[in-house]
Amino acid sequence: MYRLFLILSLYSLVSCNSDNKSEVALTGESIHPYAAFFYNYDTLTKVYRYRDIKHGLAEQFHRVYGVEDSEGKHIIVERYSQDGRLTEALNYNLDSLNVIDHMVVNGLGENEKATLYKNNLLPFNSEEEVAFASKFSGFVDSTLMLLEKNRVLMDTLTLEVFSNKTEAFRIKENASYTLLNPFTEKEQRQNLTLYYIFAKDFGLVEWYDEANKSHYKLEEILSQDKWIKMLTR
C-alpha cells in the first residue's frame, strides 16, 4: 500500500507567487528550439508515471504544471519517489528552459533551496555542451553535496509513445556527485553517465544509466486526482 505524503509546490518554497486563477491550458512561447520536446506549459497539473523496466516494480513520478508571475511563465517539475515522497523540484523559465530554482529534500527531510551555480540542462543544438551545478546539504551532519551535470545532444530518433510515432532526441549526461566536508576538507565523488530521451509533445519519456542497471520508461500520464487516489489505495 502506498503512503500519501504532503504535496508541496516548488513555488511556495522559492518565494515566488502565483494566483492560480486558471485551471486551463495557456499558450506559452519559448525561444528554445527543442521546446516542443519538453514538458508542455499547462496550468492543469499532470503526473508522469515512469517504471523501471529492469526492476519491474520500481516507479518514479514527475508532477508537472505551469505557473505565471511578474517574471513570466515557468514550468515546475517535481520528482517523487515510488511511495509519494517529494525528493526534488526544478523551476524552468519557459522562455529559455533554463533552471531558475532548484529545490531538494535534504538528509533531515527538509525542503531546501539549493545554491545554483550553473543552470542549463537542455542544449540548443548538437554542437553545444551545457552545464548544471548546484550545492545543498549532504546526508551527513555538516556535509555539503555538489551536483554537477554536463549534457550534449547525441542523436535524433523516432519512437512510439502510447501507440503514436513521434520524433525524439537523446541526451548524454555526465554527472558527478561530490560530498564535501568543510571541516576535514575531505571529498567523496561518484561519477555517473546517463542517457535521457525526450519525445515531441510529451517531454521526458525514457532514461537509463550507461551500465543499464536501471531503465525508466513513461508508462502513463495521470491527473493529479487519479495519482492521489493511487497513492492512498
Confidence of residue 28 (pLDDT cuts 50, 70, 90): low
Write the pLDDT tens digit of every residue in 46-89: 999 999 999 878 999 999 999 998 889 999 999 999 999 999 99
Alpha-carbon gap, residue 66 to 54, rounded angstroms: 32
Tell which wins on pLDDT, 6 or 186.
186
C-beta of residue 144 within 8 angstroms of C-beta of residue 135: yes
Question: For 180-209, what is the mean pLDDT?
Answer: 93
Confidence of residue 138 (pLDDT cuts 50, 70, 90): confident
The pLDDT of residue 23 is above 60: no
DSSP character at residue 57: T
The pLDDT of residue 18 is above 70: no
Residue 200 — φ and ψ, nearest 5°?
A: -60, 135
Residue of 208, 231, 232 whose CA lies nearest to 49: 231
Write the pLDDT tens digit of every residue in 148-188: 999 999 999 999 999 999 999 999 999 999 998 888 778 89
User: Mean pLDDT, the chain, as a whole number?
Assistant: 87
Confidence of residue 16 (pLDDT cuts 50, 70, 90): very low
> Is 70 exposed, middle or buried (CB count within 10 Å of its CB: 0-12, 13-18, 19+)?
exposed
Write down the pLDDT at residue 57. 83
Least confident among 35-44, 51-60, 213-222? 51-60
The pLDDT of residue 17 is above 50: no
Sequence-separated contacts (24+) of 186-194 with Cβ below 8 Å:
none
Radius of gyration of the chain (CA): 18
Residue of 209, 217, 206 whose CA lies nearest to 175: 209
C-beta of residue 136 within 8 angstroms of C-beta of residue 104: yes
Alpha-carbon gap, residue 199 to 48, rounded angstroms: 13
Residue 130 cell numbers, joined: 551545457
